[in-house]
Amino acid sequence: MTQELWDLRKSILDGRYDDALVIVDDLELMSQKSYIRNKSVEC
């Protein structure tokens, strides 16, 4: 995830907002998968 945050920052600074939005979507998907995995373990 650290690499994704670095890429997100660089994309924003470079003005590549479409790339930044793709990275945000990827991070959101990773977060959702992690949440689902953690919920599965708790049950």
pLDDT band at 5 (very low <50, low <70, confident <90, very high): very high
Q: What is the pLDDT of residue 43?
A: 62
What is the per-residue pLDDT across 7-40, written as a single tens digit (0 to 9) for each?
999 999 999 999 999 999 999 999 988 878 787 7
Contacts with 8 (C-beta within 8 Å, 6 or more apart), sequence order? 20, 23, 24, 27
Q: What is the pLDDT of residue 7?
A: 97
Query: Do residues 12 and 20 make contact, with C-beta atoms less than 8 angstroms apart?
Result: yes
Q: What is the pLDDT of residue 36?
A: 80
